Amino acid sequence: MDNQVRILLISNDYNRSEELILQLNTDNAVIQAITSNEVAREVSRVTPHIVLVHAYDGNAATELIQYIQQELAENFPPIFIYLADQQNFSLLRNLLREGMQDYFVLPEELDSLNERLQQAVHAVTEQLTSKKETIATEHALKKRKGRIHSFYSGKGGVGKTLLSTLYAQTVKLESTADVLFIDLNIQYGGAETFLGVDRIRSYAELLPVMDELNESHIRNVAVKEPYSKLDLLLSPQDAEIEERMTDEHITRLLRTCSRAYDIVIVDIPSYMDAKTFSALEESEIIHYVMTLDTPSITLFKRVQDLFTRLRLDTEDRLQVVMNRLERSNELLPSDVNEFISFSIAAKIREDKKGVLPSINKGEPLRKEIKEKKLPAISKQVRKWVVSQLK
């Protein structure tokens, strides 16, 4: 019994809970279903390793998690997974804060749930057999919540699209993470030219399903970059779609993507509107791209003021990337320190020889893990990405 993985399903809907027991893949584990009235009695008796909470409303779910965490404080910290019958982003956000490790909308995400469940059962089994119960499972098992990295600059033409596409390919090639790139330039787009792919599909196809957006919708419209196998959500390049997409759609899109992928890299257009703002708000890291010239520096100061007025928190979030550095630059990166309190996370040199021929041939700047003749810019971005992945 002691080496058995125990799953507890808490649901007040008797029929759904019976149905779930049949649908869930509980190989190598035992599952028991109870209602909320039975929680006080059963939790310390069962001492579950995995707790599935079905369709509780916000406050009740939060209280439930806190109660179980307290009851099991001396034991193996359980993994909490929330099962919802419909999408609810604010609830999800609160639950993640309370220590819920994962959230699935059923029935659409049943396959992902089963995959996650097996992964959790496997990890618990390993811990049980190695008797390392004290190691916090939270860290080992937490499905890496998707991190959103966005590329932004108040100034156009500074290299956001070039750097974000190359960064995304590099993360994909240099790690095992599941990576998605999104081109949020809804009207003009164009990231595909840097990636050498055809725009056979775009996220315009997601508009009709925005209200019930889930992981499989995203995966269905994502285009694969053939070399790195990076997933891409390409721009519709359509002014009418641009008008129909709201800032709420952007928030929903990014949240769903970050649940489906380990890392989401977003190319954000320079003009500031509600959509750009929502995308920045959702970003865990904002790579602010700038060039070493006065207009770029002045604009950065204006953007910072704007962020303050909009109450967009930039601390620990905004990282400056200097691009297109050349010997002939009149200013030096150190001159910028005077104006900018943020640390400079990367300095990328101008690479005419590397960039132009690739783009003109319709080839991406990164193609495989071990490439002999890597353009200088790709080497610099690799160094930057590897230091960030550590």
The residues of the shown chain that bind ligand ATP, judged by CB under 6 A, are 153, 156-162, 185, 270, 323-324, 348, 350-352, 355, 359, 377
Beta bridge partners of 320: 288, 344
Contact track, Mg ion, 137-176, x by CB under 5 A: -----------------------xx---------------
Helix (H) or strand (E) holding 333: helix 333-336
CB of 349 to Mg ion, least distance (A): 19
CB of 263 to ligand ATP, least distance (A): 20
CB of 201 to ligand ATP, least distance (A): 21
**Minimum CB distance to Mg ion smaller for 82 or for 181:** 181
Q: Choose the contact partner of 279 out of Mg ion, ligand ATP, none; CB within 5 to 8 A by kind.
A: none
**Minimum CB distance to Mg ion smaller for 107 or for 157:** 157
Is position 256 an interface residue for Mg ion (rule: CB under 5 A)?
Answer: no
Q: Choose the contact partner of 172 out of Mg ion, ligand ATP, none; CB within 5 to 8 A by kind.
A: none
**Minimum CB distance to ligand ATP smaller for 282 or for 351:** 351
295 backbone dihedrals φ, ψ, rounded to 5°? -55, -40
**Minimum CB distance to ligand ATP smaller for 242 or for 350:** 350
The arrangement of strands across the sheet holding 79-84 comes to 29-34, 5-10, 50-54, 79-84, 102-105
H helices of 72-189, in order, are 89-98, 110-129, 137-141, 160-174
**Which among 96, 86, 110, 32 has a CA at the least distance from the CA of 61?**
96
One-character DSSP codes across 34-102: E-GGGHHHHHHHH--SEEEEES--HHHHHHHHHHHHHHTTTSPPPEEEEEESS--HHHHHHHHHHT--E
**Minimum CB distance to Mg ion smaller for 6 or for 287:** 287
CB of 184 to Mg ion, least distance (A): 10
Beta bridge partners of 322: 290, 347
Chain contacts with Mg ion (rule: CB under 5 A): 160-161
